[in-house]
A and B are shown apart, each in its own frame.
Chain A
Amino acid sequence: MEAIDSSAELELYTIPAQSSWFLWDDIHEIERREFEEFFSESSINRTPKVYKEYRDFIINKFREDTSRRLTFTSIRKFLVGDVNLLQKVFLFLDRWGLINFSPSLNDNDTLSSVDNAKIEQGTPAGIRVTATPNSLRPITAPPLVEQRTVSGVKLPPLTSYSDVFTDLKKPDDVLLCGHCGQRCDSAFYQHNKSIINICEKCFKNGNYGGENNAADDFKLVGDSAAAVWTEEETLLLLESVLKHGDDWELIAQSVSTKTRLDCISKLIELPFGECLMGSTSGRLSSAVPTDDEDTEQVKTDGQEHEETETREENEDGPPAKRKRVALISDSDSSLMKQVATMASKVGPSVATAAAKAAIAALCDEASCPKEIFDTGDYTDSTVDRADGDKDTDMEEQKEEKDEPQGLPVALRIRASVATALGAAAAQAKILADQEEREMEDLAATVIDQQLKKVQSKLKFLDQLELIMDAEEEVIEGGKETILQERISVLQCAFRSGVTKRWDHTYVK
């Protein structure tokens, strides 16, 4: 085999440095140790010759095409012998990098696993298919995290951002209607036999695309109308939650397209949905009239509150843990006051960043000039997105809805609510971190205690051992003395000339 290699071009095969002991002509000590059964001469089917043949064949097979990953099943059919043994040899070579060692192979592994990610009906969890193309909802993080952990020990090489993220973004583009070519927004119908998908609209219109496709050939797949929440629906939901608190029947009525359960689950999904649920049970009536009637007053209130907020925050400093409990329990204060308290719980920089971000997001969505907020005199004219507060960003965007009226006051109110929620988000994060640290502490103490227990047990056992040793010595001593006495008795007997017969009976 070596002759063939050298008569062709001298090809270089890379193997890891720690495998440099490997020689074609010989079987190394490492191999002997690993595969003792081959070298112990205890059986016919395991001899050194057989081992070398297996090994050389597998390596040659791999080297025929080093870019592809050699699998055990593909070579198994070529070799005669116990498959478990063959697998052992294969795994040994794989582990030492003598086969399947090539930089391209790592790529293939992770990319193929990404490709195999089933982009079937509907969208993967964590990605929301949105109704309006110009929505600002980010489509990031969660699915990426899952996929990275799934690829396992083989760390993927440093792929570029676009490599990874374009794959993940595909789900949105895949759902093109087979007939009208538009994106299928919420649900689409899939043909039973072929891969034609048509969107809801086409299905309703009877355009089934292609010849002779009957209505029964299509089945509804993907996110049904119940699972996708448009912005209007989410806005309606939030408003009705604020209005009705815990009364889910009424909420379901106002959000007409969704059932009660859908409303509840959606609200839970939303960040701080549960907060809203808890808090709104108290402030049913106060918020609404404030919004509708005293618009002007609220506007100025809002101004003042924002200013007092910043002043308050400067005095407050970082939040203490216990304050959290009393956060949203006062039910009779107005919306603005609650916003102020919430924002005061976190540090000043966080609250201002949240406010800025909320306003920027609002402006982008509603495309109203930023000067509306400037008249309030409490923000800078140029607003940049706060980078450090991405969480609050996303949450605020989800909370804000595109209302057709676009009154400045309404916007402001929404901005402040969003700020408050963002601030609460930051607060929650800090608390969560604290909890985690406490938990770790407790775990460490528990482990400590256990260790101490184990150590004391060990000490006890040690002492026990010593005692046993002492007893053993004593017994040994006893045995010796007994032996001595027997000998002396026998000696006496002999000396006194006892007869042979008596001797025998005695000894027996």
Chain B
Amino acid sequence: MKALGSSGWKGPVKFRMPTAENLVPIRLDIQSEGQRYKDAFTWNPSDPDNEVVVFAKRTVKDLKLPSAFITQIAQSIQSQLSDFRAYEGQDMYTGEKIIPIKLDLRVNHTLIKDQFLWDLNNFESDPEEFARTLCKDLGVEDPEVGPAVAFAIREQLYEIATQSVASAKESRLSKKSRRGSDHGSASKASGLSMDLVKLFSFKSSVVRKRKDLDVYEPVVDLLTSEEVDALEAREERHAR
């Protein structure tokens, strides 16, 4: 029986990253003794916890940072991991959520701006694969760009997933008896998901309208060293 009316509401799923591999994005920004360490990478939450300290030690050794960083790095990672784990026990509603993901990042000399749609319900999605294809098709040579793109995607997915947990809790608390379509309105209220019914109905076409094409096209820029320096200086100022 067609369940179109309830727009494909599925039962709540346990919280996890809606990607093929349940990896957590971890961001580090530690300042101490006049040195600053910024990094962003993905972590597998099922790794044993002692790995965190091992990783911190190795990083400090490889980058020749002062050893005060070890505890700070380990602590930061641990706290982000425990945040993630706190969400893990809870339910989240995924429903039919196709969200636009925006990329606007600079990695060394490469600037990438892009926008595309991502289905939160698709638990086989793979940000790393997407990033690989993007870099290959656009001929990006810097090998650091791919992981940075994948990380940015993951971060956004993580944020949305946590939001959906919060909204699920909210809807459960406030409206215990009603289900289904209410959830649909709750997710739409977040303002992010697309109006799927309209898009995928029989009358409209899946081909994007011309006016939207520019928005959804990836743009890659190669900067010269001066521009990179200028941008970095601006970012520093913003950070302060």
Contacts and interface: CB of A to CB of B under 8 A. Distances in A.
Our verdict on whether A and B bind, yes or no, reads: yes
Interface of A: 41-45, 47, 49-50, 53-54, 57, 71-74, 76-85, 87
Contacts of A44: 4, 7-8, 96, 196-197, 200
Nearest to A47: B200
9 contacts: A41-B2, A44-B196, A44-B197, A50-B206, A73-B133, A77-B216, A78-B213, A82-B122, A84-B122
Contacts of A72: 133, 137
Contacts of A57: 206-207
Given A41-B2, A80-B206, 7 more contacts: A50-B200, A57-B207, A73-B218, A78-B213, A82-B118, A87-B129, A87-B133
A57 B208 CA distance: 11
A41 B2 CA distance: 7
B155 interface: no
A84 B130 CA distance: 7
A447 B178 CA distance: 63
Contacts of B117: 80-83
Contacts of B166: none
Interface in B93-116: 96, 98, 116
A42 B137 CA distance: 32
A47 B200 CA distance: 8
Nearest to A72: B133
B118 A74 contact: no
Contacts of A85: 119, 122
Among all A-B residue pairs, the 7 with the closest Cβ atoms: A82-B119, A73-B137, A71-B137, A84-B125, A77-B216, A77-B217, A53-B206
B207 A81 contact: no
Interface in B1-24: 2-4, 7-8
Interface residues of B, number: 36
A77 B213 contact: yes
Interface of B: 2-4, 7-8, 96, 98, 116-119, 121-122, 124-126, 129-130, 133-134, 136-138, 196-197, 199-200, 202, 205-208, 213, 216-218
Given A44-B7, A72-B133, A79 B208 contact: yes
For B96, B116, B196, the residue with the greatest tally of chain A CB atoms inside 10 Å of its CB is B116
A21 to B, nearest CB: 24
Contacts of A49: 202
Contacts of B136: 71
A47 B196 CA distance: 12
Given A82-B117, A84-B119, A77 B218 contact: yes
B124 A45 contact: no
Contacts of A54: 206
Contact of B96 (A45, A50, A74): A45
B200 A45 contact: yes
A81 B206 contact: yes
Given A44-B96, A72-B137, A78 B196 contact: no
Contacts of B129: 87
Given A45-B98, A72-B133, A77 B208 contact: yes
Contacts of B3: 42
Contacts of A83: 116-118, 130
A42 B117 CA distance: 19
Nearest to B206: A53
A87 B132 CA distance: 12
Given A44-B8, A47-B200, A80-B117, A53 B133 contact: no
A72 B208 CA distance: 15
A74 B118 CA distance: 17
Contacts of A74: 137
Contacts of B119: 45, 81-82, 84-85
B9 to A, nearest CB: 10
A110 to B, nearest CB: 15
A443 to B, nearest CB: 34
B223 to A, nearest CB: 16
Nearest to A70: B137
Contacts of B202: 49
A443 B200 CA distance: 59
A4 to B, nearest CB: 15
A82 B134 contact: no
Contacts of B133: 72-73, 87
A82 B98 contact: yes
B136 to A, nearest CB: 8
A433 to B, nearest CB: 38
A74 to B, nearest CB: 7
A74 B4 CA distance: 32
Best-surrounded residue of B7, B122, B205 (most CB of chain A within 10 A): B122
A79 B3 CA distance: 25
A418 B118 CA distance: 68
Contact of B205 (A53, A76, A82): A53
A81 B136 CA distance: 21
A69 to B, nearest CB: 10
B63 to A, nearest CB: 27
A151 to B, nearest CB: 15
Contacts of A47: 200
Contacts of A42: 3, 8
Contacts of B216: 76-77
